[in-house]
């Protein structure tokens, strides 16, 4: 892994839908927007180590806090649709123009939905560890992860995390624990408290399962009219590695890479792979 960026870019702010949205950026050139996932404590800060290398490769690398996360305002009522639609609204508010999306976890599904709806707005998609873009787990696979996640969600809905809770959450999602610095843990905790914790609890209540789409997104990936690169960790949760292998067999035309020694924080564990694969892909 290359030298990790240690200096956080300066916070910037813009407004959309009456909400103040925070973002960070480095570099100039074609725009690449990094979009974080939905776990407690997620924010643009999880991409601090990735922005500099992409900027040096010739891109304007930007990451923003989705409303209800980080230092961005939270809407009065949080919904999944509101989170998804905040992405193009932020792009317009920040004047990014046509942009590539590098989307982690839940936001990978947002990126695919947006690109299916209006492909003219986006140049490329890079998906990092998005489980709901993979074929579903088999009956034999379901169980252990879901039980662990249910317990974590229950604990997090009852009380704000402490420093060691933030550390354990990062360790659960990262294969190489040496990548987790004390500054990372402190940042994750700071983004998990106060209004961000309240927003997390509200999201947990709003995310009750409902009727799914008539056709799951993983079956619609070949409908995309722009290039897509998908990167998964072999050791990621919910058997993501095995399911990504299955998707490769079912849809061999898709550009899917599975990285050994990598869990859910793909942009940390697979830092070098993201650069090696992502930069030429974005320049193609």
pTM (predicted TM-score): 0.92
Where do the domains of the chain lie, and which CATH numbers do they carry? 12-206+216-283 (3.40.50.1820)
CA nearest neighbour of 17 among 80, 60, 72, 57? 72
The pLDDT of residue 31 is above 50: yes
Confidence band of 206 (pLDDT split at 50, 70, 90)? confident
Residue 21 in contact with residue 13, Cβ under 8 Å?
yes
The 10s digit of each residue's pLDDT in 129-172 is 999 999 998 776 676 555 444 455 555 557 899 999 999 999 99
Q: Are 2 and 272 in contact (CB under 8 A)?
A: yes
Q: Is the pLDDT of residue 235 over 50?
A: yes
Mean pLDDT of 62-86: 95
Find the range with the poorest average confidence among 45-59, 105-119, 128-142, 254-268.
128-142
Task: Tell me the pLDDT band of 208, cut-offs 50, 70 and 90.
Answer: low
3-class DSSP assignment, residue 161:
coil
Closest-CA residue to 7 (of 183, 182, 178): 183
Rg of the chain, C-alpha, whole Å: 18
Distance of CA 178 to the CA centre of its chain: 21
Given a cut of 50, whether residue 28 has pLDDT beyond it is: yes
DSSP 197-238: HHHHHHHHHHT---PPPSS-GGGSGGG-SS-EEEEEETT-ST
Q: What pLDDT, on a 0 to 100 scale, did the predictor assign at position 2? A: 39
**Quick one: average pLDDT of 189-208?**
89
Q: What rounded mean pLDDT belongs to the chain?
A: 91
CA 83, 116, 252, 126 dihedral sign is negative
Confidence at residue 137, expressed as pLDDT on a 0 to 100 scale:
84
Phi, psi of 266 (to 5 degrees): -60, -40
pLDDT of res. 77: 86
* CA within 13 Å, CB half, 66: 30
Neighbours of 136 (CB within 10 A): 13
pLDDT of residue 87: 98
- What is the pLDDT at residue 78? 87
Token pair in block for residue 97: 């123009």
pLDDT score of 207: 66
Question: What is d(CA 234, CA 133) in angstroms, rounded to the nearest whole number?
Answer: 15
Residue 19: which of 62, 82, 104 has the closest Cα? 82
Give the 3-state secondary structure of residue 129. coil
Identify the DSSP state of 128. E
């Amino acid at each position: 892994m290359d030298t990790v960026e240690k200096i956080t870019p300066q916070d910037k702010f813009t407004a959309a839908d009456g909400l103040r949205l925070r973002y960070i950026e480095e570099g100039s050139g074609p725009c690449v927007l990094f979009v974080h996932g939905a776990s407690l404590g997620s924010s643009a800060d999880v991409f601090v180590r990735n922005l500099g290398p992409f900027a040096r490769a010739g891109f304007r690398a930007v990451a923003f806090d989705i409303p209800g996360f980080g230092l961005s305002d939270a809407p009065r009522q949080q919904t999944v649709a509101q989170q998804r639609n905040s992405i193009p609204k932020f792009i317009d508010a920040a004047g990014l123009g046509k942009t590539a999306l590098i989307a982690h976890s839940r936001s990978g599904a947002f990126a695919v939905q947006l690109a299916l709806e209006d492909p003219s707005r986006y140049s490329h998609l890079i998906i990092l560890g998005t489980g709901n873009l993979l074929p579903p787990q088999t009956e034999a696979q379901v169980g252990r992860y879901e039980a662990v996640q249910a317990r974590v969600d229950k604990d997090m809905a009852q009380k704000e995390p402490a420093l060691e809770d933030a550390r354990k959450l990062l360790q659960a999602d990262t294969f190489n624990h040496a990548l987790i610095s004390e500054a990372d843990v402190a940042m994750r905790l700071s983004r998990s408290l106060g209004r961000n914790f309240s927003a997390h609890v509200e999201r947990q209540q709003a995310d009750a399962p409902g009727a799914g789409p008539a056709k799951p997104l993983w079956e619609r990936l070949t409908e995309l009219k722009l290039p897509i690169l998908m990167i998964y960790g072999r050791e990621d949760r919910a058997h993501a590695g095995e399911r990504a292998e299955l998707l490769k067999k079912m849809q061999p035309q898709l550009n899917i890479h599975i990285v050994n020694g990598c869990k859910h924080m793909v942009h940390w564990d697979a830092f070098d792979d993201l650069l090696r694969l992502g930069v030429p892909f974005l320049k193609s």
